[in-house]
Amino acid sequence: MSNSISKVPVAVNEPVNSYAPGTPQREALISQYKAMYNQEPIDVPMYIGSEKVTTNDKRRMAPPHDHKKTLGHFNYGTADHVHQAIDAAMAARSEWANLPWEHRAAIFLRAADLLAGPYRNKMNAATMLAQSKNVFQAEIDAACELIDFLRFNVQYMSEIYREQPGNQPGIWNRLEYRPLEGFIFAVTPFNFTAIAANLCAAPAMMGNVVVWKPAESQMYSAQVIMELFQAAGLPDGVINMITVDGPVAGDVIFKHKDLAGLHFTGSTGVFRHLWKEIGNNIEKYRSYPRIVGETGGKDFVVAHPSAAPAEVATAISRGAFEFQGQKCSAASRAYIPQSLWAETKKILVEQVNSFKMGSTEDPSNFVNAVIDERAFDKIAGYIDYIKEQNDAEIICGGNYDKSVGYFIEPTVVVTTNPKFRTMCEEIFGPVVTLYVYPDAEFEATLDLVDQTSEYALTGSIISKDRYAINLAMKKLENAAGNFYINDKPTGAVVGQQPFGGARGSGTNDKAGAAMNLMRWVSARTIKETFIPPTDYRYPFLG
């Protein structure tokens, strides 16, 4: 029994290692990468309750930049495993939900410290190997963002619990933040190790139990996440990781009466499908499931004629091509005023042509491979389409080769048609499309930006003119959930820029913020009267 009102440690952002040449961190991480590359192939089980479950259906894992190499296999399950995972979660629920919150906080704070220390290189190396992130991209995702999610969410949890209603004389009002009555289904994307872990950890921290289905191309780091949580002392059954076909999992989970919530990040089409599934089964559930989804984007950079061309070009080159454009926030359309075009083009093409592309083992490679063959073929298909059109031109990149790894050159397209297909659709690869507008049409261009795509995730305005910035902020109020002034539209940091978009980009519950954690609790209001009345007659009755 705890007789204290605890204060949690104040969260601060995890410092980002530079991995500059000559640093011991660089040497240690690259040697960890090599050790994991050269070790015997690993076998990733499902984690169901206290069991590590293997099956005869083994699926191969390979580095996207070196796809002939086998890193190991993961074990594919069936509908039976989905039932088992739900049962294990529900069996763990009562004890976990009733554990004093300080213990939950301590587990996730310990996980953060383990990740900042002994697990850092393993988590980063797994993300470099199997998701093809370079050292820096792995560090800001798999290490720093995940550490920040864990530490800041503990702080937000305690702030939520502290939030209490007012009182009148003779009455004490309280709010209790109960976990949801059932289990949470976490469905996660391939592109961020931190998102995969956070989509499970955030509801679990608030006292919920979770069935987690990671993306198949993130299985290597998914196992490290489970190892980390176990090492931190997370009890069995709180987070159950299953690797099954999405629709097979959905068929069991969306018909289950105890489904209490969906925590999803991935594409818009899949999220809409899952939402419909929940809607179609709504009579079956004990409660209305909470639905939280962060989905696709068609993120923009708008340059005003007052902008510096080098700043515009760099916002595009970094914003569009880091992690091969496979960030939901990646800049994939840009609007450049005619007067800045010649200079911006020169700098941008020079920057992009200087990128080195190759394996993540060599930290001097800025660009690595796209995630898998399906993504490669889809992106290559877009590039082929662009080459056939009269109203668009590729000014740099445009080649691709999947003989060794799924490599696609960073590709810059210029179109004369502001509604050109690649100005509207999410490609999720290293392709950015630019539209050059007449300087006098800045305001009309903002309307165009607002109306061109169904998404509203991130976007930026590059300008030295404060009136232009103000106009862009107003006109683009609903075009982005994360809006940047004089910066690239990527790289949100937990605790600083809560992340999420609206329209087709998601429910905007802001990952890594108290807003998100609130979705995983159901408040109970308690009113206590110290001296209850003993007569029904009110004074007005005379």
Q: Which residues bind ligand NAD (CB under 6 A)?
A: 187-192, 195, 213-215, 246-247, 249-250, 265-267, 270, 273-274, 294-297, 328, 426, 428, 457, 499, 501, 505-506
- Rounded to the nearest whole angstrom, what is the least distance from the CB of residue 299 to ligand NAD in the complex? 9
Q: Pick between residue 284 and residue 346 the one whose CB is nearest to ligand NAD.
A: 284
Distance (Å, whole) CA 117 – CA 129: 20
Give the nearest distance from C-beta 329 to ligand NAD in angstroms. 7
- CB closer to ligand NAD out of 8 and 432: 432
Q: How far is the CB of 296 from ligand NAD (least distance, A)?
A: 4
Contacts of residue 428, Cβ cutoff 8 Å, sequence gap at least 6: 296, 325, 326, 330, 375, 378, 379
Tell the smallest beta-carbon distance from residue 399 to ligand NAD (Å).
23
Report whether 233 contacts 204 (CB < 8 A): no
Q: Bridge-partner residues for 527, per DSSP?
A: 173
- By the 8 A CB rule, do 494 and 201 touch? no
Pick the closest to residue 144 from 19, 314, 24, 296 (CA basis).
19
- Bridge partners of residue 503, in order along the sequence: 455
Shortest separation between residue 269's beta carbon and ligand NAD, angstroms: 7
CB atoms within 10 A of CB 529: 10
Cβ nearer to ligand NAD, comparing 76 with 156? 76
User: How many CA within 13 A on the CB side of residue 144?
Assistant: 19
Query: What secondary structure, in 3-state letters, does 55-88 show?
Result: CCCEEEECCCCCCCCCCEEEECCCHHHHHHHHHH
Place of tokens 């190499």: 69
The angle, 0 to 180 degrees and rounded to 10, between the axes of the packed helices 120-131 and 193-205 is: 130
| 230: alpha, beta or left? (left if phi > 0; alpha if psi -120 to 50) | alpha
CB of 130 to ligand NAD, least distance (A): 13
Nearer to ligand NAD, 162 or 273 (CB): 273
**Which residue among 14, 139, 145, 294 is the active-site one?**
294
Q: Which two tokens stand for residue 316?
A: 């595009």
Task: Specify whether 425 is catalytic.
Answer: no
Residue 542 one-letter amino acid: G
Cβ at position 511, least distance to ligand NAD in Å: 6
Cα angle at 111 between 107 and 117, to 5 degrees?
Answer: 145
Please tell me the total number of residues recorded for the chain in this structure. 542
Between CA 122 and CA 226 the distance in angstroms is 13
Nearer to ligand NAD, 359 or 505 (CB): 505
- Could you give the CA distance from residue 448 to residue 435 in angstroms, rounded to a whole number? 11
Question: Least distance from C-beta 527 to ligand NAD, angstroms?
Answer: 39
- For residue 48, the surrounding DSSP H or E stretch is strand 46-48
Helix (H, G, I), strand (E, B) or coil at 34: helix
Alpha-carbon separation of residue 367 from 127, 176, 194, 446 (angstroms):
15, 48, 20, 31
Q: Is 415 or 505 the residue whose CB approaches ligand NAD more closely?
A: 505
Annotated active-site residue in 14, 311, 322, 328: 328
Q: Would residue 294 show up in a list of annotated catalytic residues for this protein?
A: yes
The residue among 267 and 389 lying less far from ligand NAD, judged by its C-beta, is 267
In angstroms, the CA 319 to CA 469 distance is 19
Which residue, 131 or 360, is less far from ligand NAD as judged by CB? 131
Return the active site residues: 294, 328
